[in-house]
Amino acid sequence: MAGQPIRKPTRLEPWQDAGQTPYVRIEKVTKTFGDFVAVDEVSLSIYRNEFFALLGGSGSGKTTLLRMLAGFEQPTEGKIYIDGVDMAGIPPYERPVNMMFQSYALFPHMTVEQNVAFGLKQDGVAKAEIRDRVAEMLAMVQLSAFGKRRPHQLSGGQRQRVALARSLVKRPKLLLLDEPLGALDKKLRERTQFELVNIQEKLGVTFIVVTHDQEEAMTMSSRIAVMNHGVIAQVGTPTEIYEYPHNRFVAEFIGSINMFDGRVVSTEGDQVLVASEEAGCELLIAHATPAPAGSPVSVAIRPEKIALSKEPLAGGDGRNQTTGIVREIAYLGDVSIYLVQLPTGKTVRVTAPNVTRRTEMPITWEDEVTLTWRPFAGVVLTQ
C-alpha cells in the first residue's frame, strides 16, 4: 500500500474533543427514490479541517449523501447543518459549499481562466480581483501557462487540476470531491493524493471525499466512514477501521481478512477465549469486547499478523496456533501471499515480507507449516 504522507506530528483529533462543534452535522438523513432507499437514517459529524472520506462500493449511498450536502438532492427525512445553518430547501448556488465533479464538468466553451473565474463572476467580484485570484489558483495547481487553453486541449491530469482550482478559488469552507482520482492512471494518482492532502492542509479547507478505492481513503483521510447499502458500517481513523473493525462488513471490505467462526468459551476482563472448529484450535484474543460464553462469534485476523514457520512451535498451550499445508504462493516482489489449507478444509491467507530472496525461500508448495499469531492480533466480531 502507498505510504502515508508526512503529517505534522501533533495531530488534532477534534472528534475526540467534546468541546468542538462539528462543522457539518448530518442528522438521521434518509433519501428514498420511490421504493429504493439510497440513504438510511445516516448521522455523521464532520469537523473543521478534516479530510473526511465516504468509502463504499456502488449502491452504498455515498454519492447520494454527497449530493445532498451539495444541494442537488433534498433529504426525504432528516436534517443537514453546515456551520450551524439548516440547509433544508437551500439551493446549491446559495450554499457555502463547492464541489469537484467526477467528470470534472469543465465548461467546454470557456478557457481555463474563464472556467476558474466563473464562480467569482457569479459573486460579482471586481475584475481586477478576479484576475489576481485566478492567477494565484493556477499557480497553486501549476497550470499558469495554460490559462488560455480550452478543456479539450488539456490532458486528463491537467483537467483535474483545473477542476480543483475552479472549486477552490471561492475559498469555500467545505469542499466536496466525487471520486477525484478515479480517472487518473496509477502514477498520477499517487502524486495527486499527496498534492490534495497538502493543498487541504495549506488552505485549511474541510474536504469530504467520496471514493470506492480503499487505498485512496486510507492514504489521504483523517477519518473514514464506511458505507454499505445506505447505512454507515463504521466511522473512524484509518487505523481504527483497519485494526479494529466493528463488524464483518468493514473487516472484509478493507484489505484482506481471515475469519474464523467459533463460540466463546470464557471471558476474563478484556481477554476472550474462543473455540473454533474451523481453525482447529482455541483463539485467545486480548483487548476484545467481552461477549457472553457460548455466543457465536467470528474472530478476524489480518494476513500480515500471522506468522508462518516450518518448525512446529515448542511449548505453548495450543492456543493461537494451528497447522496446515501451503497450497498457493503468490510472489509480489516485496511480499508473498501464502494460501494455507488447514486440515478442516479452511483456507488461511498469510502475508509475509520476502526477507530472503525468492530462490532461497525456505517455504514452498505442499510444505507443512505452523501458523501462529499474537493475542492482540485478532478482533472478536459479533455482527
Partner 1 sequence: MKRFGFLSWALLFGYAFLYVPIALLIVFSFNESRLVTVWSGFSTKWYAELLHNDALLDAAFLSFQVAAVSATLSVLLGTCAGLALTRFGRFRGRTLFGGMITAPLVMPEVITGLSLLLLFVAMEQWLGWPDGRGVTTITIAHTTFTMSYVAVVIQSRLAGMDGSLEEAAMDLGARPAKVFFVITLPLIAPALVAGWLLAFTLSLDDVVVASFVSGPGSTTLPMVIFSSVKFGISPQINALATLMVLVVATGIFVASIVMARQERQRKRDEQMAIQNG
123 binds partner 1 (CB under 8 A): yes
Q: Which of 43, 86, 107, 290 touches partner 1 by CB under 8 A?
A: 107
- Give me 297's grid cell: 462469534
SS3 182: coil
Q: What are residue 26's DSSP bridge partners?
A: 44, 80
Tell me how far apart the alpha carbons of residues 226 and 218 are, in angstroms, rounded to a whole number: 11
Residue 376 main-chain phi, psi, to 5 deg: -90, 10
Q: How far is the CB of 119 from partner 1 (least distance, A)?
A: 4
- Burial per residue of 95-109, b for 16 or more beta-carbon CB atoms within 10 angstroms, e otherwise: bebbbbbbebbbeee
Q: How far is the CB of 98 from partner 1 (least distance, A)?
A: 6
Q: Which of 119, 230, 238, 378 touches partner 1 by CB under 8 A?
A: 119
Is residue 84 classed exposed, middle or buried when 0-12, 13-18 and 19+ CB atoms within 10 A define those classes? exposed
170 binds partner 1 (CB under 8 A): yes
Tell me how far apart the alpha carbons of residues 49 and 173 are, in angstroms, rounded to a whole number: 9
362 binds partner 1 (CB under 8 A): no
Q: Which of 101, 194, 244, 376 touches partner 1 by CB under 8 A?
A: 101
92: DSSP letter:
G
162 binds partner 1 (CB under 8 A): no
H or E segment and range at residue 192? helix 186-203
236 binds partner 1 (CB under 8 A): no
Q: How far is the CB of 166 from partner 1 (least distance, A)?
A: 7
Q: How far is the CB of 207 from partner 1 (least distance, A)?
A: 15
What lies within 8 Å, CB to CB, of 201 at 6+ separation is 49
Q: Which of 24, 29, 39, 97 touches partner 1 by CB under 8 A?
A: 97
Instruction: Point out which span in 114-122, 226-234, 252-260, 282-290 binds partner 1 (CB under 8 A).
Output: 114-122
Residue 77 main-chain phi, psi, to 5 deg: -140, 160
102 binds partner 1 (CB under 8 A): yes
Tell me how far apart the alpha carbons of residues 89 and 79 are, in angstroms, rounded to a whole number: 11
Instruction: Point out which span in 147-155, 317-325, 335-343, 362-370 binds partner 1 (CB under 8 A).
Output: 147-155
Q: What is the DSSP string of 232-259?
A: EEEEE-HHHHHHS-SSHHHHHHSS--EE
155 binds partner 1 (CB under 8 A): yes
Q: Which of 157, 182, 280, 375 touches partner 1 by CB under 8 A?
A: 157
**How many CA atoms are closer than 13 Å to the CA of 295, on its beta-carbon side?**
15
Q: Which of 25, 150, 287, 305 touches partner 1 by CB under 8 A?
A: 150
Tell me how far apart the alpha carbons of residues 63 and 87 are, in angstroms, rounded to a whole number: 18
78 binds partner 1 (CB under 8 A): no
153 binds partner 1 (CB under 8 A): yes
Instruction: Point out which span in 12-20, 166-174, 191-199, 369-377 binds partner 1 (CB under 8 A).
Output: 166-174
- Give me 240's grid cell: 481504527
Q: How far is the CB of 351 from partner 1 (least distance, A)?
A: 36
Q: How many chain residues bind partner 1 (CB under 8 A)?
A: 32
Looking at the Cβ atoms of 102 and 309, the one nearer to partner 1 is 102
291 binds partner 1 (CB under 8 A): no
Is residue 134 classed exposed, middle or buried when 0-12, 13-18 and 19+ CB atoms within 10 A define those classes? buried
CB atoms within 10 A of CB 337: 16
Tell me how far apart the alpha carbons of residues 320 and 372 are, in angstroms, rounded to a whole number: 6
Looking at the Cβ atoms of 72 and 365, the one nearer to partner 1 is 72
Q: Which of 29, 66, 99, 381 touches partner 1 by CB under 8 A?
A: 99
Q: Which of 28, 88, 91, 185 touches partner 1 by CB under 8 A?
A: 91
Residues that bind partner 1 (CB under 8 A): 70-72, 91-93, 97-99, 101-103, 105, 107-109, 118-119, 122-123, 149-150, 152-158, 166-167, 170
